[in-house]
Amino acid sequence: MVYRVTRRELFGAGGIAGVSLLGGSVLGSAVSCAASAHAAEFPWPYKKLDPAEVAERAYRDFRQGGCMFAGFNGIIGLLADKFGEPYSGFPSAMMSYGAGGVANWGTVCGALNGASAVVALFASGSERTAIIDDLFRYYVQTELPSFAPKNPRNDVELVPAKAGSPLCHVSISNSGYKLGSKEHSERCGWLAAEISARAAASLNARLEGTFESPLTIMPETAYCLECHGRDGEGPTQVGKMNCVGCHEDHTKAGTK
Amino acid sequence: MVYRVTRRELFGAGGIAGVSLLGGSVLGSAVSCAASAHAAEFPWPYKKLDPAEVAERAYRDFRQGGCMFAGFNGIIGLLADKFGEPYSGFPSAMMSYGAGGVANWGTVCGALNGASAVVALFASGSERTAIIDDLFRYYVQTELPSFAPKNPRNDVELVPAKAGSPLCHVSISNSGYKLGSKEHSERCGWLAAEISARAAASLNARLEGTFESPLTIMPETAYCLECHGRDGEGPTQVGKMNCVGCHEDHTKAGTK
């Protein structure tokens, strides 16, 4: 079977700014992928999952491979168990690299990185961006965790708190829990479970054509982007993170 | 064929702190993966590549799917072209989600995220961490780019600069190039190419048992970690990033 894929199918309509012609190489990969018995056409087909089941699965996965593996495999592992190929053929164990904000560098939270990666297997372009934006905003803006596993490894009570940032380093600091504590470990596992489950819920809704995020950019970030967004007077910057976590709000001094 | 995989093989000896017993699910996935004709045992086998060829490939990939796709597919795409399965079966297009620090959130640079992901297909545990640490340190500490593609899309001259951070947002700011400029776009592509090529060079060296990174933690970060590292007096934190990019150096005021 030879399957022709368009650039729109590969990367979506508005995914990458400045994309040029589709070269032979990516097309080649997709063709050989789709032509094999076990591989699927890209994006892969998603099948509806129970978010509660995803959360419990992701929590168990966290104990095996850390936060990014959990965020990813809560969905792929469950799909593999229920439906086999192509999901069971994905080398999910690779995703453990993202633990601690990628090899403990403290950058993007692994739960978000893993959940974003699995969303990207099923959705592309503006649909993918909308689902990932919702995950990041939920993680940053909401007092979490609001999920607790049925059988936590450690008997702890966690006080929900806003991470305030999608960065592992900042999120853990803002939780108030001591590094290496049982609370720290459980919080990361519960968060990964909750983010993976939310990704599943969003993918379910997308399947039914009803996905819509209730979350928007935080007012304080929108305020900064008036000048520092892509079309602002500048200096302009990349990103949707909250600014005042790292930068002073210089407008207080009347310098805006 | 039934292939039994140990936890050490899946996640390495020292990969994830606090890992408990290997549950049936991950094992199940690995078994069904290895049992299929097209999938490979995990970690996947790496084959030696020419870093210069990887760089040119990654630069071309950048134009198609952005920085994370480039960092990843510079290696997997080339392996797929040269050797077919299992490399050609990987749905690499998914990796475009990481562009602009994951869906333009400005978190971890996509070149680093993609190159780390592809390293994680081939190496695990402390070997994986050492190669990823080297990539991050090279990116943060070195005046880059030191690579230029043979046929750049835009005719620009780039002045090498230290990113100072593995974060997309900070890296682009520190480059001095205006957001959306040709220089900005080319810098991201050239960096992704260079990071993908360095990952290939490290994987080549690992294949021959000669991998060793010349780079260590920056003295200023090591200084902060004396108190704020996992074993310090605290407050302790997660990560290996440079601290004073976001935090004041309070020891200047004699408060250490």
Instruction: Determine how many CB atoms are found less than 10 A away from the CB of residue B3.
Output: 13
**Residue B29 pLDDT level (bands cut at 50, 70, 90):** very low
**Residue A254 pLDDT level (bands cut at 50, 70, 90):** low
Q: Do A43 and B94 touch (CB under 8 A)?
A: yes
Res. B99: pLDDT tops 70: yes
pLDDT digits (tens, 9 = 90+) for A96-119: 999 999 999 999 999 999 999 999
Q: Do A238 and B107 touch (CB under 8 A)?
A: no
- Adjacent-strand bridge partners of A162: A143
Nearest by CB to B236, from A32, A63, A178: name it.
A178
**Residue A17 pLDDT level (bands cut at 50, 70, 90):** very low
Res. A29: pLDDT tops 90: no
Question: Is residue B236 within 8 Å of A179, Cβ to Cβ?
Answer: yes
The predicted pLDDT at position B253 comes to 56
In terms of Cα–Cα distance, which of B166, B176, B143 is closest to B71? B166
Q: Do B237 and A132 touch (CB under 8 A)?
A: no
Q: What is the rounded distance in angstroms from the CA atom of residue A17 to the CA atom of residue B255?
A: 47
Res. B184: pLDDT tops 70: yes
Candidate from A120-129, B4-13, B46-55, B188-197 with smallest mean pLDDT: B4-13
Q: Is B64 helix (H, G, I), strand (E, B) or coil?
A: helix
Question: Is residue B245 within 8 Å of B164, Cβ to Cβ?
Answer: yes
B185 touches A: beta carbon within 8 Å: yes
Res. A2: pLDDT tops 80: no
Average pLDDT over residues B132-161: 97
pLDDT digits (tens, 9 = 90+) for A193-239: 999 999 999 999 999 999 999 999 988 899 999 999 888 887 888 88
Nearest by CB to A102, from B19, B116, B235: name it.
B116
B230 touches A: beta carbon within 8 Å: yes
Res. A18: pLDDT tops 50: no
Q: Tell which wins on pLDDT, A83 or A2.
A: A83
Q: What is the rounded distance in angstroms from the CA atom of residue B98 to the CA atom of residue A238?
A: 13
Q: Tell which wins on pLDDT, B253 or B191.
A: B191
Q: Do A105 and B108 touch (CB under 8 A)?
A: yes
Q: Tell which wins on pLDDT, A106 or B232.
A: A106
> Which stretches does DSSP call E strand in chain A?
143-144, 161-162
**Residue A253 pLDDT level (bands cut at 50, 70, 90):** low
Instruction: Determine how many CB atoms are found less than 10 A away from the CB of residue B4.
Output: 9
Average pLDDT over residues B145-153: 97
Res. B16: pLDDT tops 80: no
Q: Which residues of B102-130 are buried (b: 16+ CB within 10 A; e: fewer)?
A: bbbbbbbbbbbbbbbbbbbbbbbbebbbb
Chains A, B: CB contacts within 8 A come to 321
Radius of gyration, CA atoms only, chain B: 19
Average pLDDT over residues A3-9: 40
Measure CA A116 to chain center: 3
The predicted pLDDT at position B234 comes to 78
pTM for this predicted structure: 0.87
Candidate from A21-35, B36-50, B170-184, B206-220 with smallest mean pLDDT: A21-35
Chain B residues 52-81 with a CB less than 8 Å from chain A: 57, 60-61, 63-66, 73, 76-77, 80-81
Q: Tell which wins on pLDDT, B231 or B92.
A: B92
Res. A28: pLDDT tops 80: no
Average pLDDT over residues A172-193: 95
Question: Is residue A11 within 8 Å of A43, Cβ to Cβ?
Answer: no
Average pLDDT over residues A118-146: 97
The predicted pLDDT at position B92 comes to 98
A32: closest chain B residue by CA: B88
Res. A243: pLDDT tops 80: yes
**Residue A39 pLDDT level (bands cut at 50, 70, 90):** low
- Adjacent-strand bridge partners of B108: B167
- A235 contact residues in B (CB cutoff 8 A): 173
Q: Tell which wins on pLDDT, B24 or A138.
A: A138
Res. A10: pLDDT tops 70: no
Burial (0-12, 13-18, 19+ Cβ within 10 Å), A213: middle
Res. A26: pLDDT tops 60: no
- B180 contact residues in A (CB cutoff 8 A): 230, 236
Average pLDDT over residues A170-178: 94
Residue B106 to chain A, least CA–CA distance (Å):
4
* Domain-wise residue ranges, chain B: 1-42, 51-207, 219-253
Instruction: Determine how many CB atoms are found less than 10 A away from the CB of residue B229.
Output: 18
The predicted pLDDT at position B3 comes to 32
Residue A146 to chain B, least CA–CA distance (Å):
23
**Residue A34 pLDDT level (bands cut at 50, 70, 90):** very low
Chain B residues 201-220 with a CB less than 8 Å from chain A: none
**Residue A40 pLDDT level (bands cut at 50, 70, 90):** confident
Q: For residue B228, what are its two tokens?
A: 């704020």
**Residue A77 pLDDT level (bands cut at 50, 70, 90):** very high
The predicted pLDDT at position A252 comes to 66
Average pLDDT over residues B207-214: 97
**Residue B13 pLDDT level (bands cut at 50, 70, 90):** very low
Q: Do B236 and A93 touch (CB under 8 A)?
A: no
Res. A61: pLDDT tops 60: yes
Q: What is the mean pLDDT of chain A?
A: 86
Q: Tell which wins on pLDDT, A221 or A6.
A: A221
Res. A145: pLDDT tops 90: yes
